[in-house]
């Protein structure tokens, strides 16, 4: 699975309340949640994200509350993936649950600038900045998690497995 997108660079300790403010927790339309992603930190983010971006962040991305809404808002804003120096564990898992790739890659923050074009090869564990041609390696995503992403998240993945219909029979 290879993803490409414009880079939106964020800093350290971007918490779930910044990703999606608590006042939107009663919103049930995922696309509406996406329109409010990162609105307090990066004005106009939703418009940029709608073009299909890759968020590159520093340490501890997604810290704070355990709400799944933050990952949903990023996905439905148009974010193709989040690459960070490190993640809060619950955000990392929530991202995969909703079908949003999350990649932990040491050195990413110094590799990129806003607007750079990035590619992520999730199978091989490689991120490349197309402007500079610099590449970084990360641990490839396990096959069962890639299958979950390809299905759109945990619920569609489990539905497929429980019905016996496996689009990728080589994967568990």
Higher-confidence residue of 163 and 70: namely 70
Task: Tell me the pLDDT tens digit for each residue of 68-110.
Answer: 999 999 999 999 999 999 999 999 999 999 999 999 999 999 9
Neighbouring CB atoms inside 10 A of 47's CB total: 11
Q: How far is CA 113 from the centre of its chain?
A: 17
| Residue boundaries of the structural domains of the chain | 2-163
What is the average pLDDT score of the chain? 92
The pLDDT confidence band at residue 122, using thresholds 50, 70 and 90, is: very high
Q: What is the dotted CATH code of the domain comprising 2-163?
A: 3.20.19.10
Burial call 142-157: b when 16+ CB within 10 Å, e when fewer: eeebbbbbbbebbeeb
Report how far residue 20's alpha carbon sits from residue 72's, in angstroms, rounded to the nearest whole number: 9
pLDDT at 172 over 50: no
- 137: how many CB neighbours lie within 10 A of its CB? 13
pLDDT tens by residue, 140-150: 889 999 999 99
pLDDT of residue 128: 97
- Number of continuous H segments (helices) and E segments (strands) in the chain: 8, 7
């Amino acid at each position: 699975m290879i993803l490409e997108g414009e880079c939106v660079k964020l800093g350290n300790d971007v918490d779930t309340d910044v990703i999606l403010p608590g006042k939107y927790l009663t919103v049930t339309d995922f696309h509406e949640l996406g329109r409010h992603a990162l609105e307090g930190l990066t004005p106009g983010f939703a418009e940029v994200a709608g073009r299909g971006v890759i968020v590159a962040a520093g340490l501890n991305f997604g810290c704070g509350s355990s709400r799944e809404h933050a990952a949903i808002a990023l996905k439905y804003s148009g974010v193709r993936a989040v690459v960070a120096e490190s993640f809060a564990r619950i955000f990392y898992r929530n991202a995969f649950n909703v079908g949003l790739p999350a990649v932990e890659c040491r050195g990413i923050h110094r590799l990129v600038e806003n607007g750079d074009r990035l590619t992520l090869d999730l199978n091989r564990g490689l991120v490349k900045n197309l402007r500079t041609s610099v590449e970084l390696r990360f641990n490839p995503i396990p096959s069962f998690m890639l299958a979950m992403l390809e299905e759109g998240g945990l619920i569609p993945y489990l539905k497929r497995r429980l019905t016996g219909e496996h689009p990728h029979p080589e994967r568990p």
